[in-house]
Amino acid sequence: MSDTDRSHDVVVWGATGVAGRLVAAYLTDRYRPTDLSVALGGRNESRLDTLAADLLDRREGWDDLPVVLGDATDPASLRDIARDTRVVCTTVGPYTRYGTPLVEACIDAGTDYCDLTGEVNWVREMVDRYHDAAVAADARIVHSCGFDSVPADLGTLLVQSFALERHGVPCDAVRIYLESGSGGISGGTLASTAELFEAAATDPLARQALRNPYSLAPPGERSGVDEGMHQRPRRDLLRGEWTAPSPMAATDERIVRRSNALLGYPWGREFRCSEVISTGSGLKGAAGATLLTGGLGLFAAAMSVGPVRNALRRYVFPAPGEGPTEEEAESGNFRVRLLGRGTAPDGRFTVDATVGADLDPGYGATARMLGETAVCLVREDVDSPLDGGVLTPASGIGLPLVERLRDVGFTATVGDAATGNADGA
Ligand SMILES: NC(=O)c1ccc[n+]([C@@H]2O[C@H](COP(=O)([O-])OP(=O)(O)OC[C@H]3O[C@@H](n4cnc5c(N)ncnc54)[C@H](OP(=O)(O)O)[C@@H]3O)[C@@H](O)[C@H]2O)c1
């Protein structure tokens, strides 16, 4: 089917959920219907109609927002949706539970796709089952286009592109520091976290995906020099500050390694990357790193025990559908810093990059990251040699997404650490 026969540029699939609503609100605020045709997708017609009416009420220039109905468990409905749009932008999670039939439908229809998953076990399954079919269908299946893993993945791409251009060689190691952040969390995100722990407890393949740092690399290329995520508080030698393990490292580091592999190893086969949380220097930094490591360890231990996990889901976590409001999503902030170290013929160098925004990282910022990924796919605004496959933000879209995020208020800077010779805003 030709692209001109399709009714929509983007279907926001899961538009009634916390993240989906924000993506729909963002796209209809940023674009006009003459620039981008958007449809709201989901399973509940009356809630979709209410959302459409609310957005039409508030958005100048929009007098129609079509609703498309389906169910994540009904493959025929997903095939119809995928055939009638250029891009499906999905926030229906947990993806381990609901995601696979939609990926299949998009490949079947040759439709591009982007999502917000941080479920590394599920991404591994998609890589193994569908990468070759997606390549053959020229369907770009781009995973992890939110706070997991855009800042880490595109931040690393920024560092490496700068290193290659300025120094002629890539950095052999990039460290990603979550420096600061403030924002909320939704029931859907916690349900997806619980799903990951459930899979780790019951599925040996999921455990393997979480154990092997290279589990998202192409089959046959799943080993390398990186030993896996940091598990303890550490004094970071690059910055002389304390760090704690990052809960997003399991996904972010593997996505970055997959980007390197899909792009043909432009950063080298010996490339290392790691992600940590910065807690500062001195005794305060050490105490912060110890407390954070302990807290994250306790959370992981509790989530690893089935009855405790179920009790937390039932009595403590917000329910799916609950989470930050549009107003709350517009407040908050995050700042991710990346340091890359490399060796050029004239000596060692360090590249310093930051990615950040004054928005809730998992919601306001994530809505822009996912929404702009969809727009890049619709408009072919990509810098990638790959026309199809199970891809990552850096390998499937690349630097055009950085430019778009800068245009909507994100900070994305890169330069030599020593000279402060920076590119970007
Ligand atoms: N990477 C990141 O930074 C990031 C940030 C935020 C969220 N996320 C991820 O995004 C996902 C969504 O999070 P959320 O907080 O938006 O969740 P949510 O509020 O629970 O929304 C889930 C959406 O899925 C829909 N849905 C559920 N079952 C369905 C089915 N069988 N058929 C069709 N639609 C179905 C729901 O529809 P109804 O309204 O009809 O129930 C709702 O629209 C989660 O996996 C979360 O981890 C990632």
Domain ranges, residue 180: 150-362+406-424
Are both 129 and 181 inside the same structural domain? no
The finding on whether 96 has its CB within 6 A of some atom of ligand 1 is no
Q: Are residues 193 and 268 in the same domain?
A: yes
Ligand 1 touching residue 324 (CB < 6 A): no
Residues 194 and 309 in one domain: yes
- What pLDDT is stored for residue 421 in this prediction? 45
**386 in the same domain as 341:** no
Q: Are residues 255 and 294 in the same domain?
A: yes
- Look at residues 306, 199, 286 and name the one whose alpha carbon lies nearest to residue 240: 286
Nearest CA to ligand 1 atom 42: 17
- 296 and 395 share one domain: no
Q: Give yes or no: residues 416 and 276 share one domain.
A: yes
- For atom 27 of ligand 1, the residue with the nearest CA is 92
What is 321-373 written as a DSSP string? Answer: T----HHHHTS-EEEEEEEEEEEETTEEEEEEEEEEESS-IIIIIHHHHHHHH
CA 82 / ligand 1 centre spacing (Å): 18
CATH code of the domain containing 65: 3.40.50.720
Q: What is the pLDDT of residue 230?
A: 85
The residue among 351, 418, 346 whose CA lies nearest residue 163 is: 351
Residues 303 and 228 in one domain: yes
Rounded to the nearest angstrom, the distance between the alpha carbon of 316 and the centre of ligand 1 is 18
Residues 43 and 82 both lie in one domain: yes
Find out whether the beta carbon of 186 lies less than 6 Å from any atom of ligand 1: yes
| CB of residue 50 inside a 6 A radius of ligand 1 | no
Phi, psi of 263 (to 5 degrees): -80, 0
Domain co-membership, 294 together with 172: yes
Please tell me if the CB atom of residue 320 comes closer than 6 angstroms to any atom of ligand 1: yes
- What pLDDT is attached to residue 238? 85
Structural domain tally of the chain? 2
Distances (CA, A) of 117 to 77, 92, 93, 188: 22, 9, 8, 11
> Ligand 1, closest atom to CA 320?
20
- Whether 364 lines ligand 1, by a CB cut-off of 6 Å, is no
Q: What is the mean pLDDT of each run of 10 residues along the chain (425 residues)?
A: 84 98 98 96 98 95 96 98 98 97 98 97 97 98 98 98 98 96 94 93 93 96 91 91 96 98 97 97 96 95 94 92 95 97 95 98 98 98 98 98 98 84 43
**351, 235: one domain:** yes
Residue with CA at minimum distance from ligand 1 atom 15: 188
Q: Which of 102, 116, 325 to mutate to test the pocket of ligand 1 (most atoms within 8 A of CB)?
A: 116
User: Could you tell me if 88 and 213 lie in one domain?
Assistant: no
User: What is the Å distance from ligand 1's center to 240 Cα?
Assistant: 40
Per-residue confidence (pLDDT) for residue 312, from 0 to 100: 94
* Ligand 1 and 9: CB distance under 6 A: no
Compute and round to an integer the Cα radius of gyration of the chain.
21
Determine if ligand 1 sits within 6 Å of the CB of residue 36. Answer: no
pTM of this prediction?
0.96
